[in-house]
Structure 1
Amino acid sequence: MPVPAAPGRLPVLGHTVSMLRRRQLFTALLRNHGDVVRIDLGTMRTYFVTNPRLVHELLVTKGSSFRKGALFDRFQPIFGNGLATSNGEFHQRQRRMVQPAFHRRRIAHYVDTMARAAADWTAGWRPGQVRVLEEDTQALAVTIVGEALFSTELGRHAVDEVRRSLFTVLKQGMVRALSPSFVEKLPLPGNRAFDEAVARMRAIVLDVVRRWREDGVDRGDLLSVLLTAQDQDTGAGMSDEQVHDEVMTLLVGGVETTALALAWAFHELARHPEVERRVHAEVDEVLGGRTPTFADVGDLVYLKRVANEVLRMYPVWFLMRRTLTPVELGDAALPAGAEVIFSPHALHHDPVSFEDPYRFDPDRWTPERAGRIPKGAFVPFGAGARQCVGNLFAQTEIVVALATVAARWRLVPVPGKPVRVKFTSAAYPSGMLMTAVPRN
């Protein structure tokens, strides 16, 4: 329970592990106990930052004083030393080498893949057909990221393996990261499925990398950028192992966020007919029946607001950092080596930053209203030097996929089949059954 803050002390919450099962409520209520709240998670002392201004300091203005935290330490043996888990000068070097893969010129090229994949997804739909939407959007996100990564015939086999294994890795990986270390050594079905999925993905990614090196042709895909990248100081490229780690990072980061955002977007459009009507009107006006291009994305203004609102309402549950040196955040003096937590979900639903935060309201992203949102209050892709390198790719993918589908179809919830939610790293819909209805 909360301990009143004495002079020079932080409020402390103890015995909180059972409360964490009520994740949303727990993290949302922490703001009532201060800007920085000490939490004892078993034997690990952590500091939970609830104030968006201090989160901005944590990620941006004082970002160099932090590295990835304990949660990412648990992921490192799984995903290697990619951008999501690496730190320090090595992370900075890798980011400089990976960043060109997500230049706006490259994104414009990938839009064709996004639109084609979304069109292929709906090509086989029949009027009145019931779709399991979370499965559909997961498959679509894997196809888009996989085809952007791998353009060869062997690459298509890699995409098939990613489609088969990635969500086992994502879900079981989070379970493993949040469990005591001894659990991963137990002969449990989830552990076996996870280890087998990781081994299969590792083998096929390294095989694609090896064959690319033998061929040596730049095919314009993400893998080509990774394999031809050179460090600006030394001229050295990435090893096969490092390319594998970055591919895994891009797959994990590029699939989960967009798959969830697309599923929840169609859910919210169905719940808000006026929002859906405005989306259809804009798509009809901008596209006129055409397949969307990169140039169209800038004109789909309302659809981008819808995407932002979905990213606000359905972000990851929490992220962690660790102090490299003693750091002051507000009135809190954090020692070196302190584990620091912040919750994008709690920040995105803070009524101080967002009026009526549990209401789906795309118009909160008009320039006038969005300009009043405090720094640090909206962090779907993080911020600062460690902001997700593929954030523009993901935002573009959401808009292009929504526009492609909305041009021809509506998705209507199946009566009497409420959507269940399963939390791992974020809110996963389970049993999101929706009926495909042609717009014409």
Structure 2
Amino acid sequence: MESTGAPTALPVAPGRWPLLGHTPSLLWQRFRFTLSLAGLGDVVKVYLGPLPTYVVTRPDLVHRILVTEGCKFDKGIMFDRFRPFFGNGIAMSNGPFHDSQRRLVQPAFHVKRIAGYAEVMTRVARSVAESWQPGQVVALDEAMQELSVKIVGQTLFATGLGRAAITEAQRSMPVVIKQGMVRALSPGFVGRLPIPANREFDQAIDRLRRIVLDVIAEGRAQQADQGDVLSMLLAATDDDTGEAMTDQQVYDEVVTLLTGGIETTALALSWMFHELARHPLIEQRWHEEIDGLGGRPVTYEDIPKLTYTNQIAREVLRRYPIWLLMRRTNTDVRLGDVTIPPSTEVTISPHALHHDPRYFPDPDRFDPDRWDPANLSPPPGAYVPFGDGGRKCIGNHFALAEIALAAAAIGSRWRLVAVPDKKVRVKVTGAAYPSQLPMTAVAR
């Protein structure tokens, strides 16, 4: 409910440094810092260097930002920092251009297309599973990233050059994703420092750009629907103008899909097997469900039958979501007791929302039964693993299908067991990465 009383003083988060603001606290404390903010208020002021940003901690206000009043917000400064490297695809763009691009990209993620991509998802996952030997210790985080790169790459690119692009994405995207968040949260001069991390980031962007533009040129020359996403992007035309996308627009959307499609599913699958190994009863119940398919390759039509698998996936996405989302007001916005003027940065932490005990009791407990249909759902704005509203991740159904199908393909053949004395910690960049994830493959 909105307050009807007099405005209260806006709380400022503790730990502000001269000139650097709260950036050191954000980068050093990460989850601990953002989890602490709900105790300070519904809206809390945090400084990125000298720049103030309003962190919103209440789900109903988050829902307004993302959904009901989403038109009052554009992408924030974090996306401004990303845009020179990631382009102006649908994850980065604003206003009518964003809406137009989303309409052009949307058909590539129609349910019929995803059903076609499902065969790739299962085939790649089975290939990965068949490459392991009983008793082999697998670096599971690396294996799941390789799996996700191959799935996204093969659904994006069906041409001959596409294989080279997949190889390059496997090499460069982890660097781009991890270093990009550090740049986004740091003062602008940090990205210009002649340090190894910056050189590595710039070189990865350059390599990726060259190979993706080559693939686009090849796709235009072939002028045929290869059944991949790139073919649809090249063929798409605007309903109003009849114009197709330029090479730059196609490049921007490809990089957007590579970035979003690799990180989310690779991390979700990694953490899923980590949590299954830690919870034998959950693992046993899950194995019973996938064994009920009779050992045959899983298909898109099987996904509705994998109800417990989907509950596990939702719980993984609750426990290990992205850390921060940023928006910028384009008009006056009233949030709680605060009127926020135009051009003001507003921040949401999906991780903090997903770990708020008011909406998720005992939030550090891994419990797929939270998502049993018989239980109450969290309020709107409390669970936002893919964002929400008009800017919700366009590949959310693709990602959920990939998680379910890949996990079932691997789990039908293997149990993955934690390696003793190898402590797994959460490392945070833009999302939650495992510090290491060695697991032993045990044949079922």
Q: Which TM-score band (shorter chain)? A: over 0.9
Residue in 1 that maps onto 2:193: 186
Matches of residues 276-287 of structure 1 in structure 2 within 5 Å? 276-285=283-292, 287=293
Residue in 1 that maps onto 2:331: 325
8 Å CA contact 1:134, 1:430 repeated in 2: no
Residue in 1 that maps onto 2:357: 351
Distance between the aligned counterparts of 2:320 and 2:117, measured in 1? Answer: 25
Q: How far 1:13 moved relative to its partner?
A: 2.4
Structure 2: gaps (5+ residues): 17-21
Structure 1: gaps (5+ residues): none
Runs of 4+ in 1 over 6 A off after TM superposition: none
Residue in 2 that maps onto 1:339: 345
8 Å CA contact 1:101, 1:222 repeated in 2: yes
8 Å CA contact 2:265, 2:399 repeated in 1: yes
Secondary structure, in 3 states, of the residue corresponding to 2:374? helix
Amino acid at match of 1:247: V
Equivalent position to 1:386, from 385, 391, 394: 391
Q: How far 1:18 moved relative to its partner?
A: 3.6
Distance between the aligned counterparts of 2:374 and 2:80, measured in 1? Answer: 40
Residue in 1 that maps onto 2:161: 154
Q: How far 1:430 moved relative to its partner?
A: 2.1
Equivalent position to 1:26, from 26, 33, 37: 33
Secondary structure, in 3 states, of the residue corresponding to 1:9? coil
Residue in 1 that maps onto 2:372: 366
| Number of residues of Structure 1 aligned to a counterpart in Structure 2 | 433
Distance between the aligned counterparts of 1:29 and 1:376, measured in 2? Answer: 18
Distance between the aligned counterparts of 1:175 and 1:50, measured in 2? Answer: 23
Amino acid at match of 1:165: S
Instruction: String of CA shifts for 1:344-382, please: whole Å, max 9, x gaps.
Output: 00000011111111100001001122x431000000000
Q: How far 1:7 moved relative to its partner?
A: 4.2
Instruction: String of CA shifts for 1:5-48, please: whole Å, max 9, x gaps.
Output: 99443122251334322121211111111111122332111101
Residue in 1 that maps onto 2:82: 75
Identity of aligned residues (%): 58
Question: Is 2:431 aligned against 1:434?
Answer: no
Residue in 2 that maps onto 1:405: 410
Equivalent position to 1:292, from 283, 295, 298: 298
8 Å CA contact 1:292, 1:404 repeated in 2: yes
Secondary structure, in 3 states, of the residue corresponding to 2:44? strand
Instruction: String of CA shifts for 1:289-328, please: whole Å, max 9, x gaps.
Output: 1111110011000000000000000001111000000001
Instruction: String of CA shifts for 1:370-401, please: whole Å, max 9, x gaps.
Output: x4310000000000000000000001100001
Equivalent position to 1:421, from 412, 421, 426: 426
Residue in 2 that maps onto 1:109: 116
Instruction: String of CA shifts for 1:257-298, please: whole Å, max 9, x gaps.
Output: 11100000000000000110011000011x211111110011
Q: How far 1:108 moved relative to its partner?
A: 0.3
Residue in 2 that maps onto 1:65: 72
Residue in 1 that maps onto 2:180: 173
Residue in 1 that maps onto 2:242: 235
Equivalent position to 1:308, from 307, 314, 325: 314
Question: Is 2:249 aligned against 1:245?
Answer: no
Query: Mean alpha-carbon deviation: is it higher for 417-426 or for 291-300?
Result: 417-426
8 Å CA contact 2:179, 2:201 repeated in 1: yes
Residue in 2 that maps onto 1:92: 99
TM-score (norm 2): 0.96
Amino acid at match of 1:305: Q
Instruction: String of CA shifts for 1:206-233, please: whole Å, max 9, x gaps.
Output: 1111111111011110001100111111
Distance between the aligned counterparts of 1:22 and 1:238, measured in 2? Answer: 42
8 Å CA contact 2:12, 2:46 repeated in 1: yes
Amino acid at match of 1:154: L
Secondary structure, in 3 states, of the residue corresponding to 1:137? helix
Residue in 2 that maps onto 1:265: 272
Equivalent position to 1:203, from 200, 207, 210: 210
Distance between the aligned counterparts of 2:123 and 2:148, measured in 1? Answer: 12
Query: Mean alpha-carbon deviation: is it higher for 97-106 or for 34-43?
Result: 34-43
Change (3 A) 1:233 1:7: closer
8 Å CA contact 1:68, 1:320 repeated in 2: yes
